[in-house]
Amino acid sequence: MPLAHLAAAAALICLDPGHGTPPAVGAQVERIGPGSKVMKIKDGGGAPGEAAIVLRVAQKTRTLLLKRGYRVAMTRTGPTFTYGTGGNVARAKFCNERHAALMLRIHADGSVSPSAHGIKTLYPVNRRGWTDDIYARSLSAARAVQRSIVVATGARDLGLVPRSDLTGFNWADVPSILVETGFTTNPAERRKLESDAYEWRLARGLVAGVARFVRP
Ligand SMILES: [Zn+2]
């Protein structure tokens, strides 16, 4: 008998569509990072319409990733996020436990200015003990995904934004980025965000970026 070749398991992409936390849980607070005294609300609820939009984008992204041979886990597959104790610590742990090649957090933006529009990608700053283990890979992923999603959608490129204050990054042990897919407070962009065709474009852009970052 020839030796069996153990095929490495395909890379797992952890999709984290934002929000959807029951309000009573969302109002609770949690530590912004391991050992921190700084507490932050679990889920402020997000921009108007955001939770439903980002779930649909995540579902489409999942379909395309599976087609390409990735494994996929999602922190929520329905309107409500119920994993663990809720909140962003739980979201990070969900992806950590699955040893994800990437935690891809999908959000939409809001602004008091209705003219604000475009796409940006957030990534963790390099903080010793919290994100020093994921900083470089997260930044690589952020660059790849931001470039690809702007090409796929033609949206305004708002660039990359380093963040020190995102609980979901600070608890992550796997590369982690957060894509703000557009402004629901901009009427024209919201119409797009709520159209099937544009959601597929967003998903294609996300997947093209993932593919540049990690092979299945
Ligand atoms: Zn959000």
- pLDDT tens for 101-140 read 999 999 999 999 999 999 999 999 999 999 999 999 999 9
d(CA 8, ligand 1 centre) in Å? 34
Task: Quote the pTM value.
Answer: 0.96
d(CA 49, ligand 1 centre) in Å? 10
User: 177-200 burial by CB neighbour count: b if 16+ within 10 A, else e?
Assistant: bbbbbbbbbbeebbebbeeeebbb
pLDDT band per the 50, 70, 90 thresholds, residue 29: very high
d(CA 29, CA 201): 35
The secondary structure of residue 196, as a DSSP letter, is H
pLDDT band per the 50, 70, 90 thresholds, residue 8: confident
d(CA 43, ligand 1 centre) in Å? 9
Residue 7 clears pLDDT 70, i.e. is over it: no
Q: Which pair of tokens denotes residue 65?
A: 């990733």
d(CA 119, ligand 1 centre) in Å? 13
d(CA 80, ligand 1 centre) in Å? 14
- Segment 69-95 shows an average pLDDT of 97
Which pairs count as long-range contacts for 125-134, CB under 8 Å and 24+ apart, including other chains? Answer: 125/162, 125/163, 125/164, 127/33, 127/164, 127/170, 129/34, 129/35, 130/33, 130/34, 130/170, 131/169, 131/170, 131/172, 133/173, 134/169, 134/172, 134/173, 134/174, 134/175, 134/176
d(CA 99, ligand 1 centre) in Å? 23
* % the chain with pLDDT above 70: 97
pLDDT value of position 163: 98
- pLDDT tens for 148-160 read 999 999 999 999 9
d(CA 195, ligand 1 centre) in Å? 19
**Secondary structure class of 181 (helix, strand, coil):** strand
Residue 6 clears pLDDT 70, i.e. is over it: no
d(CA 107, ligand 1 centre) in Å? 4
d(CA 154, ligand 1 centre) in Å? 21
Q: Specify whether the CB–CB gap between 38 and 20 falls below 8 A.
A: no
CATH number of the 13-213 domain = 3.40.630.40
